[in-house]
Amino acid sequence: MGNQIQTANSTMQKRLALGLSAAILLSGMGMAQQRGGTLTVGLGYDIDTLNVYSTGFLGDVQATVAEGLVAPNEKAEYVPVLATRVPTIQNGGIKVAADNKSMVVTYQLRPGVKWSDGKPFTSADVKFTWETVKDPKFIAESKDGTEDISSISTPNDLTVVVNYKRVAPDFKSTLFTFGILPKHTLEGKDLNTDNYNQMPLGTGPFKVTQYVKGQFVVLDRNPFYWRKDKAGVQLPYLDKMIFKIIPDSNTLVTQLKSGEIQMATSVPYSQIPQLSAQAGLKVIKNPVLSWQHLDFNLKGPAALRDINVRKAVAHGLDRATISKALGGYPIPIDTVVVPVFSYSSKDVPKYPYDPAKAKQLLEAAGYKAGSDGIRAKNGQRLSFKIMAQAGRSTDEDAQQVMIAQMKAIGIELKPDNKAGVALRDARYKGDYDLYYAGWITSADPSYGVFYSTKGVNNGQGYSNPKVDALLATADSSLDPAVRNKALRDFQTVLMQDLPTIPVTSNPSMIVLTDKLGGFVSNPTNMTNFINTSGWYMKK
């Protein structure tokens, strides 16, 4: 069960586009980095495929091999990788049609980049990537963005002109950010079954030299890597990286303690205390672009359409206690936009923990406590089902705390946990009263899918024309000022309506040897490994 959850979770995290931090170049300034050495990383899941477009998992290993044109850094801001700049309207990289219905994005590619087999990287590879991923015959997990593109032209080897069918401000969070496929080895092949899935070829700092299924992947330095450090030293610093597959989290911890692995990401909260005490290891708390939320089904019990009931629930929730129950790592939040984003608003209506106020709100709305302590009005008891993903222990623990806290203000919650298709069905169709879960977004999120009237993930029946308009503006504007304003206003309206209560943002825990230098965590979690070229081992 645990693994399955990890899978579902990581699939979402995979959405978070690959991150490359500008900080790699800064982090080591002033000290000479050691070249050489091997870093062994423990992976808590078994790799399905090393093709970044078809894996259902994190792109941990893939990120060291495949590079995209751009990638988000530790602040979730896009920086150029294989492109020389991030296209914007200001730098002329984006041209919006006069009717505002389509746009053209032009990428200038970095000259001198080679695939790890020594062949040059060109604009043809970029076009090939779009064609291949779009091909209906290719069974891919991530085809986002392919349908938005009408055509791609390549006037020369280093210029890619992408014609979009719509104005798509989220164009950076898909397709070319995940990675570019090599045309010269893949052309005419069936990518569903090609050996590329075991031995991907990329432009990244490392190349796969050995992949033993179910056991490990060995990556060697890519001798043709394009990046050099400030002193002109050819990157990467490390000779080798090894990813060892260790599905059991207890064993992962044992391997960290015994020194058999030197790094693990997404270590369960419960394992952190014993590892922080271990000499030679350090623990990094990495904020990820996720938030836990308690949704009300507005198509469900009538009482949930009463704003006073929703406000009472919000005031009755003690986020600090929930965080404490999960080891103290989750960060209480007041809005659905996580604090990593610059447009996360602090001016939203807030609902601090105040059980007295919660009771008072319910009392004023006419809900009187019955003999069992549960409030009721006109014979309707405040008794609801609360759904969470079955088997996801952090969510189930938080759910228990919430049930207890609601009981204290006279609301009865009964757990109704579901898994797999049953959960998805219930979520889309709104077959629940309350739903507690987490969303993770890309570095360029579209909140319309969750909260606009027609949003594909809006199963709760929330609808507010004001929110629809604000989100439509945010999803179709390329002007950062316009987007920020729309998203900030959206948060205010959303928190006034309170169809959902933002609870916590749950960081991921990274444990690594204190000998590793140059490491910068990335809020996009799995993309921690995009930074590997600047990592080095202190002697």
Partner 1 sequence: MSLSYIFKRLLGMIPLLLGVSLILFGVLHLAPGGPLDVYADNPSVTQEALEQMKRAFGLDQPLPVQYFRWVTAFFQGEWGFSIRTAQPVMEEVLSRVPATLMLSGSAFFLALIVALPLGILSATRRYTGVDYFITLMSFLGISMPVFWLALMLQLLFAVQWRLLPSAGMQTIGDGSLLDILRHLALPVFILAFASVAGWSRYMRSSMVEILNQDYIRTARAKGVSARRVTYSHAFRNALIPVVTVVALDSAAILSGAVITETIFAWPGLGRLFIDSMNGRDYPVLMALLMVGSFALVVSNLVADLAYSLIDPRIRYD
Q: Applying CB under 8 A, does 274 fall inside the site for partner 1?
A: no
Query: What is the smallest separation between the CB atom of 26 and partner 1, expressed in angstroms?
Result: 32
Site for partner 1 in 445-484 (CB under 8 A): 449-450, 456-457
Q: Interface with partner 1 includes 250 (CB under 8 A)?
A: yes
Task: Tell me the window of 154-162, 243-251, 309-317, 473-481 that interacts with partner 1 (CB under 8 A).
Answer: 243-251
* Distance separating alpha carbons of residues 524 and 522, to the nearest angstrom: 5
The C-alpha atoms of residue 153 and residue 165 are separated, in whole angstroms, by 14
The first and second tokens of residue 431, run together, are 């077959």
Q: Check binding of 270 to partner 1 (CB under 8 A).
A: no
81 counts as binding partner 1 under rule CB under 8 A: no
Task: Give the whole-angstrom CA distance, residue 133 versus residue 30.
Answer: 43
Count CB-CB contacts under 10 A for residue 244: 17
The b/e string for 472-496 (b: 16+ C-beta within 10 A; e otherwise) is ebbbbbbeeeebbbbbbbbbbbbbe
Instruction: Check residue 365 for interaction with partner 1 (CB under 8 A).
Output: no
CA distances from 450 to 68, 91, 285 (A): 27, 32, 27
Q: Among 85, 143, 485, 515, which residue interacts with partner 1 (rule: CB under 8 A)? A: 143
Q: Report the residue from 136, 188, 379, 465 that binds partner 1 according to the rule CB under 8 A.
A: 136
Nearest to 158 by CA among 250, 237, 83, 254: 83
Q: Which is nearer to partner 1, 406 or 434 (CB)?
A: 434
Q: What's the rounded Cα separation, in Å, for the pair 256 and 277?
A: 12
User: From CA 418, how far away is CA 154, in angstroms rounded?
Assistant: 49
Residue 297 lies near partner 1 (rule: CB under 8 A):
no
Site size for partner 1 (CB under 8 A): 58
491 binds partner 1, rule: CB under 8 A: no
The type of residue at 478 is L
Nearer to partner 1, 92 or 273 (CB): 273
Amino acid identity of residue 356, one-letter, is A
Instruction: For partner 1, give the closer residue by CB, 12 or 409.
Output: 12
How far, in Å, are 127, 292, 436, 450, 493 from residue 387 at the CA level? 44, 13, 6, 17, 25
Q: Considering the rule CB under 8 A, would residue 254 count as an interface residue with partner 1?
A: yes
Identity of the amino acid at 370 = G
Could you say whether residue 58 binds partner 1 (CB under 8 A)? Answer: no
Residue 456 vs 472, nearer CB to partner 1: 456
Instruction: Pick out residues in 184-223 that bind partner 1 (CB under 8 A).
Output: 192-193, 197, 212-216, 218
- For residue 420, state whether it binds partner 1 (rule: CB under 8 A): yes
Asked if 389 and 437 touch (Cβ cutoff 8 Å), the reply is: yes
Distance of alpha carbon 43 from alpha carbon 408, whole angstroms: 42
Residues found near partner 1 in the complex (CB under 8 A):
1, 3-4, 7-9, 11-12, 15, 40, 46, 48-49, 54, 56, 136, 139-144, 174, 192-193, 197, 212-216, 218, 242, 244-248, 250-251, 254-255, 257-258, 260, 419-424, 439, 441-442, 449-450, 456-457
